[in-house]
Amino acid sequence: MKRNKVQICILIALCMILQGCSMETIQHKSTKSELGVSTEATEKNHSSTESKTTEVNTESISKNLTSNINSTTTQKTPYSDYEIDKRANEILSGMSLSQKAAQMLLVAISAGYGEDSQKKDQYGGLVLFADSFQNSNPTLFKARMKKLQKVSKIKTIIATDEEGETVARASAYTAFRSSKFLSPRKVYQAGGFKNVKKEAREKAVFLKKLGINTNLAPVADVVYSASDFMYARSFSTNANKTSKFIRITVNQNNNKGVISTLKHFPGYGGNGDTHTNIIRDKRSLKTFENRDLKPFQAGIDTDVKMIMVGHNIVEAFDKNQPASISPKVMEYLREDMGYDGIIVTDGMDMEGIKDFVGSTNEAVIRAVLAGADMVCVTESMGSKNALIEAIKKGRIQENYINEAVLRILRAKLKIGIIK
């Protein structure tokens, strides 16, 4: 930022010098002019030539400096909030019901999923797991990502879980990186928050170069001890330290044009694995406010674009429903914490949530009814059709679908996925 200010000052100074030189030349000839344009008819031709030379030089220098400034700036949206809202509504107005439903799906795809499939499906988000990297390399991978984006009428979110160490997709393979990214906890232990910032920036650049615009990280959960299920993936047992880690990571991702995904709202704490079971969290709301919610609020205050809601039944918010299908949890995130970005669910085909609801398709519908903007699935076509059917039958109001899609489009516009 300081470099940009210096360059702008240089631009202004050079323009002033050039203007000053032009004025001195004209004043020496006893003419009155502004920026080399003579007001004396007797010197019209001479000053006109000087004027054109000055204007060309000034414009050339201005373009060169502006080019340098742009080349050193980090990722910034070229739109104001008003322009983003206007553009998002323009895109929405041209979308069919099927396209809207597809935008709300964050679909886990296999290595065999190619441009022909995305051309037909038009999913709003694609999630890549290990098999997409395992037998590939950066050149092949980037070519595949470009093809997927090329056939997407609305450029898609391309996401992966690159938390570090325990959960690392791309960096787990030496064709992509010489070694895995370390866990944030180890990164901090090796060099404090300065090292955390460096690693976050490097990771964001690494993903963006591959064509990945969304990281399903960082983990914002605050655990209690080394025996907790989420310990290896978490940053700290201290909520304030975790909050600082979240602010740094979200900032670096925003600057490099990568969407951050905070998980797993409203906080995992010391709970067990929800991939296979639904866990009940009986802690008080005060405990959540003093610990678990702090990192999420830090992310919201740093303009995080996506927050993932977990599958625990968190009794402080809702005694009956898992967080991912709970209107009360979603409302708290929106109203009490002031979040207006994308709410995405954890995987809706995990056994715990699927068994609780009865099927993945019903879980998807319940999540959307609760307030989720995107749902993470693998059974994609069934989920898309289930959403469309629920809208047609009036179970889900289309005006809510419109609101959810607008939030997705705004996030894509802000981070630069679409224009």
Instruction: Using the Cα atoms of residue 71, residue 76, residue 77 and residue 80 in order, give the sign of their dihedral.
Output: negative
For the chain, what is the total number of helices (H) and then of strands (E)?
Answer: 16, 14
Q: How confident is the model at residue 110 (pLDDT cuts 50, 70, 90)?
A: very high
Q: What is the mean pLDDT of residues 58-74?
A: 35
Q: How confident is the model at residue 329 (pLDDT cuts 50, 70, 90)?
A: very high
Statement: residue 30 has pLDDT above 70: no
Are 126 and 169 in a shared domain?
yes
Quote the mean pLDDT of the chain. Answer: 86
Q: How confident is the model at residue 272 (pLDDT cuts 50, 70, 90)?
A: confident
Q: What is the mean pLDDT of residues 8-28?
A: 44
Statement: residue 57 has pLDDT above 80: no
Say what the pLDDT of residue 378 is: 87
Say what the pLDDT of residue 244 is: 98
Are 234 and 217 in a shared domain?
yes
Q: Is 320 helix (H, G, I), strand (E, B) or coil?
A: coil
What is the distance in angstroms between the CA of the first residue and the CA of the last residue of the chain?
Answer: 24
Count up the domains in the chain and report the number: 2
Are 365 and 284 in a shared domain?
yes
Residues in CB range of 355: below 8 A, 6 or more apart: 278
Say what the pLDDT of residue 79 is: 76
Say what the pLDDT of residue 75 is: 54
Are 134 and 206 in a shared domain?
yes
pTM (2 d.p.): 0.82
For 347-373, the pLDDT digits (tens) are: 998 988 999 999 999 999 999 999 999
Token pair, residue 418, equals: 């679409």
Domain boundary among 45, 72, 99: 72
Statement: residue 124 has pLDDT above 50: yes
User: Which CATH number is 96's domain given?
Assistant: 3.20.20.300
Say what the pLDDT of residue 117 is: 95
As a 3-state breakdown, the chain gives helix, strand, coil percent values, each rounded to 5, of 55, 10, 30
Q: What is the mean pLDDT of residues 253-281?
A: 92
Are 17 and 140 in a shared domain?
no
Q: What is the mean pLDDT of residues 9-38?
A: 40
Say what the pLDDT of residue 373 is: 98
Are 62 and 197 in a shared domain?
no
Q: What is the mean pLDDT of residues 205-225?
A: 98
Where helices occur in 94-183 by DSSP H, the ranges are 97-103, 115-121, 131-134, 138-150
Token pair, residue 301, equals: 């205050």
Question: Range of 63's domain?
Answer: 2-72
Statement: residue 74 has pLDDT above 50: no
What CA dihedral angle connects 29, 35, 38 and 44, to 10 degrees? 100
Token pair, residue 70, equals: 């742009």
Statement: residue 48 has pLDDT above 50: no
Are 370 and 249 in a shared domain?
yes
Are 363 and 235 in a shared domain?
yes
Nearest CA among 24, 20, 57, 30 for reference residue 39: 30
Give the range among 266-275, 301-310, 316-325 with minimum mean pLDDT. Answer: 266-275
Top pLDDT among 65 and 392 is at 392
